Structure 1
Amino acid sequence: MGLPIDTNFIYSQFIDQVKEYAIYATDNNGFITFWNDGAKRIKGYEDEEIIGKFYGILFPDDYQEEGKPLKVLQEARTNGFYVAEDWRKRKDGSLFWAKITLTPIYKPNGEQIGFTKVTQDLTQQKILKDELVRQHEEITQKNNDLKVVNVDLDNFIYTASHDLKAPIANIEGLISLLNKRLGNCNCLDQATSTILQHVTTSIKQFKSTVNDLAEISKLQKNFAQGLMEEKINIPQIYKEIMEVNGLSFSNTKCKIQTDFQVMSIIYSRKNFRSILYNLLSNAFRYHSPERTCVIQLKTYEQNSNIVLSVKDNGLGIKEANKAKLFTMFKRFHNHVEGTGIGLYMIKRIIENVGGKIEVESEEGVGTEFKVYLK
């Protein structure tokens, strides 16, 4: 037979060699009776410096003054344990953030003989957590500031666009009157007529820009208030667009091929109509004069999305312009009327409810817009 195994010695050696946790024991009154190597490393005390001392020495000074060490012992006795994350103190007086577990120790007959204490240094984790909290608070504050700025900007745009309409109308009327008077007195020569035409064109562009700014302001207000979603019939929306805008589209003879694999969707009726109208309008306006205009309109399911695809065989988009395609007031074909906010607005509409829009285009071949709606 072998020698008897001293299990208490083995457990003591095992605990003593744990380096990542401070493990120590106290008597019933909190005076330290055992101190492992992890406790030496984390707290800085050697055995001879700490054995026999009241464990409250490891608490921050203000905690000691308010009697917290004794309160912790009492809570562990009452509840059978004490677990917390809190500040603790090293020998050099520095504080560290720790996870603490204090557990009463009992004899087999139920008599308490002391406490065991396990402490884990969480200082680095706390630093990272506090930094994440700080960054989150900073981002939240910046977002709140941006919301205030956006509201102020929207109010300014709305007010400016509203207040500018009357002066523009007055200027337009005065130019018309001037044109008529000059004509009646035969004072309208070719040069003056050209100048007046340029002024009239500038006024028209100015009116269009002001109206666009009003639409952008209205769009932002809709985002803030939220538009009612409902079950809408996609072919019906398409039919309404073609009936209402048929005359404006009729300048271009286009063959439209439809394939509605998805017939309905839960969405804002107004917003879906804006999306489809703008995509169809672009396909008509940017057709190629070199070939018969063909537009393919399709809806289908892909993964968790409903996809709306509008594909044409028109002018296409230069590779260098694709990155600026959805920018406000950007236009790449001057021979076509427009102010360049249509794609900007529908991108905002789509992304505001978690969707996305993609474009595939080749200059001289055509363009396909794909709208992914959840």
Structure 2
Amino acid sequence: MIDNVSANPEAEPTGEAFLFTKVFEKQANLAMVLSPDLIIKAATDSYLRETLTLRENIIGKQVFRIFPDNPAQDGASPTANLQASIQQALANGKTHQMAVYRYDIPDPNKAGFFLERYWRTSNTPLLDQNGKLLCIIHETANVTEAEKARLQLLESQAREQAANAQAELQRMRLERLFDQAPAAMAILEGPDLVYKDINAAYQQLFPGRELVGLPLFRALPELRNSVVYDIIYKVYNTGETFEGKEILIPVARFENQEPEDIYWNFIYQAIYDKQQKINGILIFALDVTNFVDARHQLEKSAAALHVLNQDLEKRVIARTQELHQAQAETKQQWHQLEDLMMHAPSAICILTGPDLTFALINPVYQQIFPGRMLLGKPLLDALPELAYTAIPGQLQRVYQTGEKYIGQEILLSMARYESGPMEEIYWTFTCLAHRNREGVIDSIMVFAHEVTEQVKTRKAIEANAQQLQLITDALPVLIGYIDKERRYQFANRAYEAWFLVKSQDLIGRKLLDVIGEKAYRNAEGYINRVLAGERLDFEAVMPYREGFTKHIRTSYVPDVREGEVVGFYTLVSDVTEQVEARLRVEQSAQETREMAKELAQANQHLQLANQELSRANEQLTHTNIDLDNFIYAASHDLKAPISNIEMLLEELLLELPAESYQTGDTPQLITLIRDAIDRFKKTIFNLTEISKLPKGDNTEATLVQVAEVVAEVQLDLAALIEETGAQVQINIDHSLPLSFSPKNLRSIVYNLLSNAIKYRHPHRTPLVQVSFFAEEAYLVLTVQDNGLGLSPANQAKLFSMFRRFHDHVEGSGIGLYMVKRIVDNAGGKITVESKLEEGSTFCVYFRKNN
């Protein structure tokens, strides 16, 4: 390939060169002079006229820049062909004559457009005396009109020869096509429309009825009052072909059977005799009931699509194939059948011979590949991208064995245009082998249907339906869709708990069978109203089965399409607990009203009693204040004397001789005195603490994590725990924060946990279990041990001030008294369960609203 280069136009020639240039330009033939680097040096006037160019616009410029390839032209590059011719002429130094070829020229009136041209061209190199290339003479002739005429003649001759050669073969093929076609076909003859011939597919539509030899409306009398009567006689009287799509025609498949609703795709076409008078009707029919029903089901609800698709996929076969009609008697019948095939709404082609050559393509098939020439080409030459798929092998298998092949939603990567981009196309097709008179397979008929959009739509719907199914399955309400036949078409997982059956097993079942007769009677009135188009919200009692009755709150939403209710959505919520609670409240209210009278009478007595209690309470309040004042005064007034005693003891020890301090009972007495002083000081300290305890409600309450407080107390008691080998087990619900005074809660935990370890049994390792949980109106803290335990008599005195039941453990007997007072002041309570020699359990109840 010679690179495109640009050159500046040279100066005008002068003298003898100018003379020769002008002589060259006036030559009658079409010629150019090209430099060795293909720069245009000169051109004849004839060449300029034929190429629609101006001399000043081309001289001095590279030839392929002036005449580039037409991007819209298929096939080999004309610039490449011309360049190859020039290269060959340069290689052998001789003129090279090119065969007639197409080389379009730019349209000077439309930028970017080209004019179709055919040329007969020669390229001659001119050399100097030393054999060096001087220039190239490019001579050409415009043979466009002659070439177009020749090509059209060749195409016409080829078509005529092919048509003559195929006519008889196609007649025999179509003759057998009538019997072998998978679609229903029939021929009615005469004004009475008598069944003259039907194929096997037509008979299968009515397996229980005699048809051949009978008039149409005697063989199928239920059609007399249908749309068929007027349509078919209009075709017979006018000759106008009628094509019906998805028309509902009730008809019985068996004799004496009730007609059933059947949707049909059909064509009624008049048949003419030799005098071109109508003498019959040709019927092409396809039962599309399953397809229509499936589509209607798809339109009902996106939520039910994933179920309906399973049924639809079983039925989506090549039912939309249009088949050609065949009549064995005359050539006129062949033309009628051929016309039917060419106007069929499905893509049809015939592949002949072992190489599967396209012998016939109807317009629908060609429209799928608008930019490709298929007719007359072997399959893999016409569609080479199929070489890497299983399709050629499947077709060869059909050709060799005669077995029918049906492909459903086959994904193929193909180009619709020659050298066009590859597209992913989904196909559903049927391949049928055709046999000649000797029974030998000579061709394959392919009925194809592009289902790309349907497949993509279905997959998108399936994805949406799956997502919607996941969402509805997660909801605690019953969500369903019921069609106008009162059958479930969708049910979410919530149905399984109520009706003890998988939700997918409800699909197709009648509402009455699912919910039971009693419940259905309760809901029937609402169902009739929603199917009449009314949206409803109601509550009802549903006795679904023995021992399983529900109070429900329900919404019915009609599904209206094109003005017709085709079903309804149902949302059911369980309100049994709310209803029963409301009934209990109503009953309680009645009882309360009855008691009100009694309470009114008792209230007078209570008011008198309250007055007495109020006076007693004032006396108790004064008594408690006096008691607190006494405790505070006692603890305060005793601090100084005990401090003086302690100081005097120390002074006395300093005055005693060292010998007397070490002899006799003196050391022991001193120790006893010091112990007594310490106990006295602790008692005073505890009295002080008691006086500090708050009265009434806890005003220091904040949110406290019980687990954190227990952990802090464990750290404080670490030495005691390690010394005794105690095992402390914690079981605390961390989701229950307690509103309480942190200081008081720590005091409670410390006293209970330390007591559980201190009062351990001498013969077993201490085991303490600390728990915290919710119980009705309380949050409960329990501390359980396996220690010494208490007798029933001692349990009653346990929370008294300065009460102790074991002397071998140091203590003041005031800790549990303080715990109880803290809990009582906070509005709670504390209990104990204990068995002697087995252990004790302390339970502290905190009110939840603290």
TM range, normalised to the smaller chain?
A: 0.5 to 0.7
The one-letter code of the counterpart of 1:255 is: Q
Q: Measured at CA, do residues 356 and 166 of structure 1 come closer, stay the same or move farther in structure 2, by a change above 3 Å?
A: same
Q: Give the structure with the higher percent helix.
A: 1
Is 1:215 the counterpart of 2:686 in the alignment?
no
Is 1:138 the counterpart of 2:612 in the alignment?
yes
Given candidates 156, 162, 178, the residue that maps to 2:652 is 178
Is 1:203 the counterpart of 2:651 in the alignment?
no
Cα distance in 2 for residues equivalent to 1:347 and 1:154? 17
Q: Which residues of structure 2 form unaligned runs of 5+?
A: 1-598
Q: Which residues of structure 1 form unaligned runs of 5+?
A: 1-124
Q: Measured at CA, do residues 248 and 151 of structure 1 come closer, stay the same or move farther in structure 2, by a change above 3 Å?
A: farther
The one-letter code of the counterpart of 2:814 is: I
Describe the superposition over 1:12-32 as per-residue Cα deviations: whole angstroms up to 9, x where unpaired.
Answer: xxxxxxxxxxxxxxxxxxxxx
Is 1:348 the counterpart of 2:348 in the alignment?
no
8 Å CA contact retained: 2:820, 2:829:
yes
* Shift of residue 244, structure 1, vs aligned partner: 3.1
The residue aligned with 2:846 is: 373
Is 1:246 the counterpart of 2:718 in the alignment?
yes
Is 1:159 the counterpart of 2:633 in the alignment?
yes
Describe the superposition over 1:57-86 as per-residue Cα deviations: whole angstroms up to 9, x where unpaired.
Answer: xxxxxxxxxxxxxxxxxxxxxxxxxxxxxx
* Shift of residue 279, structure 1, vs aligned partner: 0.5
8 Å CA contact retained: 1:314, 1:367:
yes
* Shift of residue 348, structure 1, vs aligned partner: 1.5
Q: Measured at CA, do residues 311 and 129 of structure 1 come closer, stay the same or move farther in structure 2, by a change above 3 Å?
A: closer
Q: Measured at CA, do residues 176 and 339 of structure 1 come closer, stay the same or move farther in structure 2, by a change above 3 Å?
A: same
Cα distance in 1 for residues equivalent to 2:606 and 2:706? 45
Cα distance in 2 for residues equivalent to 1:311 and 1:183? 53
* Shift of residue 224, structure 1, vs aligned partner: 5.1
Q: Measured at CA, do residues 363 and 181 of structure 1 come closer, stay the same or move farther in structure 2, by a change above 3 Å?
A: same
8 Å CA contact retained: 1:249, 1:281:
no
SS in 2 for 1:330: coil
The residue aligned with 1:306 is: 779
The residue aligned with 2:792 is: 319
Q: Measured at CA, do residues 189 and 283 of structure 1 come closer, stay the same or move farther in structure 2, by a change above 3 Å?
A: same
8 Å CA contact retained: 1:223, 1:352:
yes
- Identical-residue share of aligned pairs (%): 42
Cα distance in 2 for residues equivalent to 1:137 and 1:279? 40
Describe the superposition over 1:37-76 as per-residue Cα deviations: whole angstroms up to 9, x where unpaired.
Answer: xxxxxxxxxxxxxxxxxxxxxxxxxxxxxxxxxxxxxxxx
Cα distance in 2 for residues equivalent to 1:232 and 1:359? 24
The one-letter code of the counterpart of 1:320 is: A
Q: Measured at CA, do residues 298 and 130 of structure 1 come closer, stay the same or move farther in structure 2, by a change above 3 Å?
A: closer
8 Å CA contact retained: 2:696, 2:825:
no
The one-letter code of the counterpart of 1:196 is: I
SS in 2 for 1:320: helix
SS in 2 for 1:236: helix
Cα distance in 2 for residues equivalent to 1:290 and 1:347? 30
Cα distance in 2 for residues equivalent to 1:329 and 1:227? 27
SS in 2 for 1:287: coil
Given candidates 360, 368, 373, the residue that maps to 2:833 is 360
Cα distance in 2 for residues equivalent to 1:344 and 1:137? 31
The residue aligned with 2:729 is: 257
The residue aligned with 2:759 is: 286
8 Å CA contact retained: 1:300, 1:307:
yes
SS in 1 for 2:796: helix
Q: Measured at CA, do residues 184 and 150 of structure 1 come closer, stay the same or move farther in structure 2, by a change above 3 Å?
A: same
Describe the superposition over 1:295-328 as per-residue Cα deviations: whole angstroms up to 9, x where unpaired.
Answer: 1111111122111111111111122211111111
* Shift of residue 345, structure 1, vs aligned partner: 1.3
Cα distance in 2 for residues equivalent to 1:195 and 1:241? 37
Cα distance in 1 for residues equivalent to 2:816 and 2:739? 22
The residue aligned with 2:702 is: 230
Could you list the structure 1 runs, at least 4 aligned residues long, displaced by more than 3 angstroms after superposition: 125-132, 185-188, 247-251
* Shift of residue 225, structure 1, vs aligned partner: 7.7
The one-letter code of the counterpart of 1:260 is: I
8 Å CA contact retained: 1:330, 1:341:
yes
Cα distance in 2 for residues equivalent to 1:251 and 1:180? 37
8 Å CA contact retained: 2:829, 2:846:
yes
Cα distance in 2 for residues equivalent to 1:365 and 1:313? 6
Cα distance in 1 for residues equivalent to 2:770 and 2:603? 50
Q: Which protein has greater RCO, CA pairs closer than 8 Å, 6+ apart?
A: 1
Cα distance in 1 for residues equivalent to 2:771 and 2:675? 38
The one-letter code of the counterpart of 1:240 is: E
The one-letter code of the counterpart of 1:349 is: I
Cα distance in 2 for residues equivalent to 1:348 and 1:224? 10
8 Å CA contact retained: 1:329, 1:339:
yes
* Shift of residue 165, structure 1, vs aligned partner: 1.3
SS in 2 for 1:324: coil
* Shift of residue 249, structure 1, vs aligned partner: 4.8
Cα distance in 2 for residues equivalent to 1:225 and 1:372? 15
The one-letter code of the counterpart of 1:334 is: D
The residue aligned with 1:92 is: none
Q: Provide the aligned length of Structure 1 versus Structure 2.
A: 248
The one-letter code of the counterpart of 1:140 is: S
Cα distance in 2 for residues equivalent to 1:208 and 1:233? 31
Cα distance in 2 for residues equivalent to 1:198 and 1:287? 27
Larger Rg: 2
Cα distance in 1 for residues equivalent to 2:696 and 2:777? 26
TM-score (norm 1): 0.61
* Shift of residue 133, structure 1, vs aligned partner: 2.6
* Shift of residue 191, structure 1, vs aligned partner: 2.1
Cα distance in 1 for residues equivalent to 2:637 and 2:721? 32
The residue aligned with 1:17 is: none
The one-letter code of the counterpart of 1:301 is: A
Describe the superposition over 1:183-206 as per-residue Cα deviations: whole angstroms up to 9, x where unpaired.
Answer: 525355322333222222221221
The one-letter code of the counterpart of 1:313 is: N
Aligned-residue Cα RMSD (Å) equals 2.3
